Amino acid sequence: MKSPDFSYVRATSLDEALAMLADSEDAVILAGGQSLVAALNLRLQAPELVIDINHIPGLDRIELAEGKLRIGPLVRHAQLMASAEAARALPLIAQALPHVAHPAIRNRGTTCGSLAYGDPAAEMPACAVALDATLVLASRDGTREVPARDFYDGLYETRRAPHEMLIEARFPAAPEGARAMFAELAVRRGDFASLGLAGQLHLDAGAIAAFDLVAFASEPAPHLLTGVAELALGQRPDARLAADLAQAVAEAVDPLESPLATPAMRRRQYRALAERCLRDAMELADA
Amino acid sequence: MEMQDSRIIAAPRETVFEGILKPEMLRACIPGAEDVTGSAEDGFEAVVVQKVGPVKARFKGAVTIEDVLPGTSLRLVGEGKGGAAGFARGAATVTLADHPEGTELTYAVDAKVGGKIAQLGSRIIDGFARKMADQFFERFKTELEGARPVAPSLED
Amino acid sequence: MTELANSGIGAPLPREGARRLAEGRGRYVDDITLPGLLHIAFVRAPFAHGRLLGIETDDALEVPGVVAVIDGRRLAEICAPFDTNPPGVPGHASAPQPPLVVDESCFQGEAVAAVVAESRAAAEDGAELVFLDWDELPAVCSIEDAQAEDAAPVHTRFSDNLSLRHRFGAEDVSEAFHGAAHVVEADFSFGRQTGVTLEPRGIVAHWDPRTEELEVWQSHQVPWQMREVYARQLGLSPQSVRVTAPDVGGAFGLKLHAYADELAAVAVSRLLGRPVKYIVDRLESFTADAHAREARASCRMAVDAEGHILGIDAVVDAGFGAYAMHPRGSFGEAMQAAQMIGAPYRVGAFRAEVRGWRQNKAPSGAYRGVGQPIACAITEEMIDLASRAADIDPAEMRRINYRRTLDEGTRATQAGLVVEELSLDACLDKLLEAMDYTALRSEQAALRAKGIYRGIGLASFVELTGVGAGLYGPLGLTVAANEACRLTLQPDGSLTCATSVTDQGQGTLSAIAQLIAGEFGIAPEGVRMVAGDTGRTPYGGGAWASRGMALGGEAAKRACARLRDGLLELAAGILQCEPEALRFEQGEIIGPKGASGLDLAELAALCHYRPYDSPTGQVPPMTVEESFVPAALPYIASNGVHAVHLEVDPELGTVDLLGYWVVDDCGTVVNPLLVDEQLRGGIVQGIGAALYEECLYSEDGQFTNGTLADYVVPMAGEMPDIFVEHVSTPTRATGLGARGVGEAGTVGGLGAVRTALGDALVPTGARVSQQPFTPGRVLAAIMAAEDAE
Amino acid sequence: MPDDLIRFTLNGRRIAVPSTRGHLGDLLRHELGETGTHIGCEHGVCGACNVVMDGRVTRSCLTLAVQVDGAEIETIEHAGNDRCGAALQDAFVARNAFQCGYCTPGMIMTARELLSENAAPGRAEIRDAISGNLCRCTGYQAIVEAISDAAEALRETADD
């Protein structure tokens, strides 16, 4: 299990990295490398060129300005986890990050890398969709912004073109009093989830003023449950609402058939998971 | 895995059927085909490179056409040997039916992957096969309907 | 106990060599390198069953660094295929297994060609460019498919797939079931597992044409067995083969076997006259290591109104895979799975039929517990089902039926087991007290009323440990089952113990050193252990079936006695007293008048340098060798009881372990520090079997979860703290009194989780028969029960 | 790496070694003979290969050898040189917190980072911190206890 041969270049600037990405037929960006190097070892990938961006200055910034939290492409999961500013601005991300793999992986793995990779079972893409983040893609020809809600097409399929690099993820900071909803079902701590929910709700004068919930891992891409949000908006949180919304989640998801569980089982699990994380977010007492 | 889908192609049934048998069509439609040689009668040889998520595999493969019922149905059987990576094989049963807007092409695909690739998880493999089949028939539809004529002959 | 503690036995001493490992100074096979070393990568069969038509190697040979590409035909010229059909197992049939596929391959992952290169990476580059031409043959994968009337053969040399058929107990037990107060019945399915040693298998082989000697370093449990195997397969004299097992990163039975790919590596070295290294990578380990446990079973149990077991009638169908693992075969698990059913209990009538089926999957072999976890799980769930039918508390139900000892006048149970000196009652008493069984039961009832499903599960087990020649000899296996100790008194007064026992981290060597030190009253540091090297140790077994202390410890104890007797006799001559009046204390000889001034160093110097100072002119031998194999018993039974407390989430299907207790009787505990965590490690593997681990094959025989991310092994986050307590009943079979303990955790762990889960699900009416009990399976059972309402 | 050498600091020593395509684990083991770092899966799951790179625990199998040019790498061979590493090694020996020893180097490197961030971790925190390190031999309990013991020993000697 040794990687195939490849050329390796250490980029010194973003422009240089993007130029090499554009010039090579078959280049990959190495940021955290926690998925890429595994794929190389497994010989699942055999790129001609590996472009290491780890030594480009300034890519590891977390910045809060004008109500947006900007995460640079070299911000590691561990760095984001340790940022008090990020935890305040993005309570959902703070709640989800401990579920991302294990300490050693979080020390190297980058949040943008996870967003760009688009593993259906990963937590960060689901959070980005739930929080309506904006993903900034750059190529030699310029930059463009894609809402995370449009970015994920399917199993590892994203709107990123091969010559583009995700250079920033921009999250709207949570409004005062926003409450995160996060729950996932994984066999072991840190494993890829078999199903999960990520979202945020916000109360205004005792009624739900904002509600975004995403189902992930059981479908090819994060699934924003807009129908559930419609039912939630304007309602006052109570046990009955939590149960109704949980039922709506179970009906709205579209789990893939898998050898481990039928869609019917997945819906049942979703209902239970949703009710629990809704009750938590609504700060209701245990059932 | 098995799956089924259909496409409505704005072309008469005979045209669609003949299209499938043309080697240049295979060349144009097999996703990731780098090199296709051969004929409908003797079968085709192809080198195919496919990528799904973390998996990028290169197969040396053969495509044969079987069970030909002219104008109605046939089976496309593709088999790729991927060296140490394993193998991939797919059979698509293609059925044509008249449709008000042209021809309805229905395909049922039975795909099998083996060796190291299979070991890395069915999640990826299902995506692999689905993507291959969908792209193939989507391109086929585009090629047949499109203004761009099928390239008459590509160098081997 | 005071005397024992003073003599070293029973002290929780840190392990010999532990600091070395804690500082990263272990020496494992992959750490060994030789000048001119070549590396192998194998091209493996992509199909479950196929006929090899041709191999294209031209492109591979062009790769820089690739030295050779060697196929099965080439190796067949110098290396015989494994023939694994022990004459003592009637009706057993398995196909010969060549080191590399010659024409027919029978499981996905079977090695087909060896690419030999200057580096592993170059070998893998080459392997990617070897193209195989195949005809795919029909594959038979599940046990049901293998059994089918019209099943295709797994190997074309056979017309069907039945590899073994055997019956334990009576031909007909129907009498016992007539008129029984209760008859319970259940089906069981056990998932296929693999050992997942953290250090994968690996080998360095060097055939030196100059000396005509073959030297092998291998991550293995039984170097002596492997010396015989390599000599036999390659037509060499065993004396020209030396096999060394350096530090081994976990073995668990997986490294007890001879593997075709490792034999191929040795044969490649023989062919090229160069040293070669082959380290199994993690992907290969899943498809090419021995698998285990796959079985389906059905069992009926009859009990009377008071709960006494009147009869057991069971059928076990085991999945053997494509070949029998060499040299011990694949039948052991199936046989023990059937024979050990009901072992802890008095059973009126007994019948267990076992069948083994060939499949186009990796061969199955020994894995910690070998069949006993299956037997225990079946037995314990049947006991629970019967206790519910008879409305008797499950703990009481067990107590009613425990076997205390064999019935008077019998030599063995109806299943042919010799189990003696059991202490199950004492273990259960201690266990129930430790877990506060009564309180847990009341809590369970209270929580059930609130819709919280907790379960309490018990599993009693009897484990066959220290298996000796009495088992292997009659089967016709050329496997040495004795354990030997060669003890040398060095001129400086230190001791060297060369033992045939091997240690993969159990701490056996350390415990033997402790035992020897105790015999002379010296510190364990004064005993140097040598093991795992056929060039330096006496002939014997190695490590399997929880034998290290039970047999190797006894051999050491006997060697100590002989060496000591000689030394005391010499000292008695010098001190002019009777040898019986002398003893060793802190290495010094203590006589009737106290310290004699003679110590080990002085005696050693006398014997080695000044033998003329001996009053008789004679000195005792400075090296003695003792070999031990239990004469009276084929094995030494140990026993114990496990308990699990868990909670099932009926909406998610998840199982949360809340508590785990075990009371084990392994006789004399030489070092509790080693024994307790050994038990826990075994239990965690049992929990893995119960909740997580399964080799998932597609219908056409493709291994689909062959990564460490997909084949789920237990990690720290999900494992509970495990309470360990002991009852100590030294076995009379040896002077030391130790029984084996290496598998006790695994044997009972699976059953205890199973019974606890069954108990938790009682209010739902669901039962999960298929293990592992994944959330999907638990939920499916609950949903099916709901639908049935 | 203009001259195709990887230059880095390994356990306090300056190293220059010819560039290689493999991962850091293989570089350490096979090019530099530091065999204490163990390879268990090469796809980032087992944690046996954990080393410290620029102050953070890192999977050496998920780090390319060429990536460490200019970096500081610390492995188990050097872990005993600080109080925390030494305390862990003592505790692992005293508790017999391993059997075969194959997971131990990665386990200790991981635990050392935990103790550097949390002087008094609870059992659950310890279990969480090592949840990415596979031990196939023990029941994890002795490991949890050893880490807990080491933390206590470090607290007791903190003022020395």
Average pLDDT (C660-676) is 92
Closest CA to C365 of C303, C424, C323, C315: C323
In chain B, which residues have pLDDT < 50?
Answer: 147-156
Average pLDDT (C17-36) is 96
Inspect the interface and report whether the beta carbons of D101 and C680 lie closer than 8 Å. Answer: no
CATH 3.40.190.10 applies to domain C2-26+482-628: no
SS3 sequence of A173-216: CCCCCCEEEEEEECCCCCCCCCEEEEEEEEEECCEEEEEEEEEE
A173/chain D closest Cα distance in angstroms: 28
**D64 phi, psi to nearest 5 deg:** -70, 145
Chain D neighbors of A41, CB-CB under 8 A: 23, 42-43, 61
Give yes or no for residue C1 having a pLDDT over 50.
no
B81/chain C closest Cα distance in angstroms: 7
**C728 phi, psi to nearest 5 deg:** -120, 110
pLDDT band at C425 (very low <50, low <70, confident <90, very high): very high
**Distances A281 to A129, A222, C728 between C-alpha atoms, Å:** 18, 20, 54
pLDDT value of position C2: 33
In chain A, residues 207-246 whose CB comes closer than 8 Å to chain B: 220
Average pLDDT (C576-589) is 94
A243/chain D closest Cα distance in angstroms: 31
Which residue in C130, C132, C704 is closest to B118 by CB distance?
A: C704
Inspect the interface and report whether the beta carbons of D43 and A33 lie closer than 8 Å. Answer: no
Distance from C-alpha of C658 to C-alpha of C162, rounded to nearest angstrom:
42
Could you tell me if C219 and C202 are in contact, meaning their C-beta atoms sit under 8 angstroms apart?
Answer: yes
**DSSP annotation string for chain A:** --PPP-EEEE-SSHHHHHHHHHH-SSEEEESS-TTHHHHHHTTS---SEEEE-TTSTTTT-EEEETTEEEE-TT-BHHHHHH-HHHHHH-HHHHHHGGGSS-HHHHHH-BHHHHHHH--TT-HHHHHHHHTT-EEEEEETTEEEEEEHHHHEEETTEES--TT-EEEEEEEEPPPTT-EEEEEEE-SSTTSPPSEEEEEEEEEETTEEEEEEEEEESSSSS-EE-HHHHHHHTTPPP-HHHHHHHHHHHHHH--PPPBTTB-HHHHHHHHHHHHHHHHHHHTTPPP-
pLDDT value of position A60: 97
Nearest chain B residue to A44 by CA distance is: B55
D43/chain A closest Cα distance in angstroms: 5
pLDDT tens-digit readout, C106-140:
999 999 999 999 999 999 999 989 988 889 999 99
Could you tell me if C97 and C84 are in contact, meaning their C-beta atoms sit under 8 angstroms apart?
Answer: yes
Environment class of C2 (CB within 10 Å of its CB; exposed 0-12, middle 13-18, buried 19+): exposed
pLDDT value of position C409: 56
Chain D neighbors of C19, CB-CB under 8 A: 89, 93
Helix (H) or strand (E) holding B14: helix B13-21
Q: Which two tokens stand for residue C94?
A: 């398995």
Say yes or no: C54 contacts chain D, CB-CB below 8 A.
no
pLDDT value of position B149: 44
Say yes or no: C412 contacts chain A, CB-CB below 8 A.
no
Chain A neighbors of C119, CB-CB under 8 A: 2
pLDDT tens-digit readout, C298-307:
999 999 999 9
DSSP 3-state of C446:
helix
DSSP 3-state of C532:
coil
Selected residue with higher pLDDT from C3 and C83: C83
Closest CA to C8 of C414, C553, C545, C393: C553
pLDDT value of position D159: 64
Average pLDDT (C764-786) is 97
pTM of the entire predicted model: 0.95
Inspect the interface and report whether the beta carbons of B120 and A46 lie closer than 8 Å. Answer: no
Distance from C-alpha of A88 to C-alpha of A84, rounded to nearest angstrom:
6
pLDDT band at D47 (very low <50, low <70, confident <90, very high): very high
Which residue in A5, A185, A260 is closest to C652 by CB distance?
A: A185
Which residue in A190, A261, A272 is closest to C651 by CB distance?
A: A272
Which residue in C44, C131, C702 is closest to B60 by CB distance?
A: C131
pLDDT value of position D160: 58
Nearest chain A residue to C283 by CA distance is: A1
pLDDT tens-digit readout, C341-368:
999 999 999 999 999 999 999 999 999 9
- Tell me what the pLDDT averaged over chain C comes to: 94
Count of alpha carbons within 13 angstroms of residue C629, beta-carbon side: 17
Nearest chain C residue to D97 by CA distance is: C677
Residues 6+ apart with CB under 8 A from C441: C456
B40/chain A closest Cα distance in angstroms: 32
Domains and CATH numbers, chain A: 7-52 (3.30.43.10), 62-172 (3.30.465.10), 179-281 (3.30.390.50)
Residues 6+ apart with CB under 8 A from C700: B112, B114, C48, C139, C141
Q: Which two tokens stand for residue C485?
A: 């100790």
pLDDT tens-digit readout, A182-235:
999 999 999 999 999 999 999 999 999 999 999 999 999 999 999 999 999 999
Q: What share of chain C is helix, strand, coil (3-state, %, to 5)?
A: 35, 25, 40
**Pairing verdict, β C527-530 and C495-499:** parallel
Beta bridge partner(s), residue C314: C299, C352
**C127 phi, psi to nearest 5 deg:** -60, -30
Inspect the interface and report whether the beta carbons of D99 and C678 lie closer than 8 Å. Answer: yes
**Residue from B55, B124, B128 whose CB has the most chain A CBs within 10 Å, to mutate:** B55
Nearest chain A residue to C708 by CA distance is: A191
Average pLDDT (C426-447) is 98
Inspect the interface and report whether the beta carbons of C505 and D137 lie closer than 8 Å. Answer: yes
In chain C, residues 629-668 whose CB comes closer than 8 Å to chain A: 649, 651-654
SS3 sequence of B37-77: EEECCCEEEEEEEEEECCEEEEEEEEEEEEEEECCCEEEEE
Residues 6+ apart with CB under 8 A from C272: C38, C67, C68, C116
Inspect the interface and report whether the beta carbons of C47 and B87 lie closer than 8 Å. Answer: yes
Selected residue with higher pLDDT from C539 and B83: C539
Selected residue with higher pLDDT from C48 and C464: C48
Which residue in A44, A46, A220 is closest to B120 by CB distance?
A: A44
Say yes or no: D60 contacts chain C, CB-CB below 8 A.
no
Q: Which two tokens stand for residue A192?
A: 């890829």
**Pairing verdict, β B73-81 and B87-99:** antiparallel
Inspect the interface and report whether the beta carbons of A41 and D128 lie closer than 8 Å. Answer: no
Inspect the interface and report whether the beta carbons of B56 and A45 lie closer than 8 Å. Answer: yes
Task: Match domain C32-137+198-251+254-288 to its CATH number in 3.90.76.10, 3.40.50.1370, 3.40.50.300, 3.90.1170.50.
Answer: 3.90.1170.50
Question: What single-letter amino acid sits at D97?
Answer: A
**DSSP annotation string for C37-100:** -EEEEEEE-SSSSEEEEEEE-HHHHHSTTEEEEEEHHHHHTT-PPB----TTSTT-----B-SS
CATH 3.30.365.10 applies to domain C291-469+632-788: yes
pLDDT tens-digit readout, A235-262:
999 999 999 999 999 999 999 888 788 9
Nearest chain A residue to D44 by CA distance is: A38
Chain A neighbors of D21, CB-CB under 8 A: 2-6, 8
Task: Match domain B2-145 to its CATH number in 3.30.530.20, 3.40.50.10860, 1.10.3470.10, 3.40.50.970.
Answer: 3.30.530.20
pLDDT tens-digit readout, D93-124:
999 999 999 999 999 999 999 999 999 999 99
Nearest chain C residue to D20 by CA distance is: C121
pLDDT value of position C3: 39
pLDDT band at A179 (very low <50, low <70, confident <90, very high): very high
Average pLDDT (C412-430) is 89
Chain C neighbors of A2, CB-CB under 8 A: 119-121, 124
Percent over 70 (pLDDT), chain A: 99
Torsion of CA A263, A266, A270, A276, to 10 degrees: 160
Give yes or no for residue A175 having a pLDDT over 70.
yes
pLDDT value of position C284: 96
Inspect the interface and report whether the beta carbons of B114 and C129 lie closer than 8 Å. Answer: no
Chain B neighbors of C56, CB-CB under 8 A: none
Closest CA to A133 of A192, A194, A214: A214
pLDDT tens-digit readout, C312-322:
999 999 999 99
Q: Which two tokens stand for residue B129?
A: 């096969």
Nearest chain A residue to B55 by CA distance is: A44
pLDDT value of position C406: 62
Closest CA to C626 of C673, C562, C572: C562
Say yes or no: A1 contacts chain B, CB-CB below 8 A.
no
Inspect the interface and report whether the beta carbons of C198 and D40 lie closer than 8 Å. Answer: yes
Inspect the interface and report whether the beta carbons of A30 and D64 lie closer than 8 Å. Answer: yes
Across B55-69, B101-115, C469-483, C698-712, the highest mean pLDDT is recorded for C698-712
Inspect the interface and report whether the beta carbons of D57 and A107 lie closer than 8 Å. Answer: yes
- Tell me what the pLDDT averaged over chain D comes to: 96
pLDDT value of position C737: 87
Which superfamily does CATH assign the domain made up of D5-78 to? Answer: Beta-grasp domain (3.10.20.30)
pLDDT value of position C187: 98
Distance from C-alpha of C668 to C-alpha of C681, rounded to nearest angstrom:
20
Say yes or no: D146 contacts chain C, CB-CB below 8 A.
no
Instruction: Please state which CATH number belongs to domain D80-156.
Output: 1.10.150.120
Which residue in C121, C125, C651 is closest to A269 by CB distance?
A: C651
Which residue in C43, C698, C702 is closest to B84 by CB distance?
A: C43
pLDDT value of position A16: 98
Provide the edge-to-edge strand list for the sheet that holds D72-74.
D13-18, D5-10, D72-74, D50-53, D56-59
Say yes or no: D62 contacts chain C, CB-CB below 8 A.
no
Distance from C-alpha of C294 to C-alpha of C538, rounded to nearest angstrom:
36
Average pLDDT (D130-145) is 97
Average pLDDT (C644-653) is 98
